[in-house]
Amino acid sequence: MVGFPKNFAWGAATSGPQSEGNFKKKHQNVFDYWYAKDPKAFYAGVGPDTASNFYNDYREDIPLMRQAGIKVLRTSIQWSRLIADFEKCSVDEEAVAFYNDMIDTLLENGITPYLNLCHFDMPVELQHKYGGFESKHVTDLFAGYAKRCFELFGDRVDHWFTFNEPKVILDGGYLYQFHYPLKVDGPLAVQVAYNLNLASAKAIAEFRKLYGNDGTKKIGTILNLTPAYAASESKADQAAAEFAELWANKMFLDPAVLGEFPSKLVEILEKDGVLWEATPEELALIKQETVDLLGINFYHPFRVKAPEISAKSLQDWMPDIYFDDYEMPGRVMNVDKGWEIYPEALYDIALNIRDNYHNIEWFVSENGMGVSREERFMDEHGMVCDDYRIEFLKEHLRALHRGITAGSNCHGYFVWTGIDCWSWQNAYRNRYGLIRDEIHTQTKTLKKSGYWFAKVSAQNGFE
């Protein structure tokens, strides 16, 4: 038996914009807007309008998730749903009623809510008016929205998170054009990275005013950590991996946990003339308002090699002037997604947190396998027999178990995701859920992995 510590949290993760649907929202977020403007940019023309219909189905969906062994659910509040006036932070009462009843329904079904405040879903009004997190004013508005959430729902929610994968906001919106606003601007991405860290610290400060720091309620952030591995032991490849690690992981991990940006990264950005604009007061706030716990999303490693073209070449500044992607021969792949499968990285993450980040409390906040055309794996009763997903989860849980045995302070494992949900430009191309959603009828049924996860959750481990 691969057994886990007592009270280990077996959960699942999803988000408001990917599950709720657009029903009765008074504002659009950036994805709502982008889809309305250019539906062909999304796989099969499927947008976020309905998603998995959680807004209408949550009273039926939540017991189904409990049946799949999900004891903790991480989801997010939509800023664009909850807030009626972004400047005044007044709330939409219908949205408040929805989130109140959703939280109560989770608790009635024995599911602990973990709530996240931003899952890529910047209100488009703030994006167009201020540039979203390009603006420090928006970091103040975000803190005001966070305060509202704490006041409204903090009596029943003990675990809060400021952001989900802030680095993806840079990658998608400011570097590689897979999220709105579809910009390509490396120096601007650097400033947005800083502002995201500042916004997180401001939200944490509001949390501390209400709940202090005694640990009865906790606040953290959710980071997608992709350990950077060099293609070889050569000095050039090692240097590429060092920068990739600074950019991809430490730029958010260090300020969140240690309260300061890595000095080597600051030195490089300053040398290149692209360092963020910061004030001593802001840096002091980031220093003070660190997190209580970390959620870590893990899907794939980050393999790099020395760039083919020298970083000294005349070119626009982008972070990848310092590294090229490296494809390791013989790697195991999730071909549908294009991601390498390497569970050992989860063990490396566990030891990194133990050794370099005060062994802070953390949990795997997302891990899972997205596969296309899952209909091909249906049995005669219509159940998706996703043995590939079960094997993927087992291998990652074994690696995590080794990390915990070595002393890493991990308290839970959340699969992505409970119910198949809408995934940005990929829409429903790749399915990740323990529960299948037939999106044309919104009929939801457990997959084989759902029954397996229920057993693992019940016995706190697996054979």
pLDDT at res. 196: 98
Q: What is the mean pLDDT of residues 429-452?
A: 97
pLDDT tens per residue across span 375-386: 999 999 999 999
Provide φ and ψ at 431, rounded to 5°: -100, 135
pLDDT at res. 214: 87
pLDDT tens per residue across span 134-186: 999 999 999 999 999 999 999 999 999 999 999 999 999 999 999 999 999 99
pLDDT at res. 420: 97
Does this model's pTM top 0.85? My answer is yes
pLDDT at res. 45: 96
Contact 102, 155 (CB under 8 A): no
Q: What is the mean pLDDT of residues 358-364?
A: 98
pLDDT at res. 121: 95
Predicted confidence band at 460 (pLDDT cuts at 50, 70, 90)?
very high
For the chain, give the mean pLDDT. Answer: 97
Predicted confidence band at 36 (pLDDT cuts at 50, 70, 90)?
very high
Positions marked catalytic: 165, 366
pLDDT at res. 215: 86
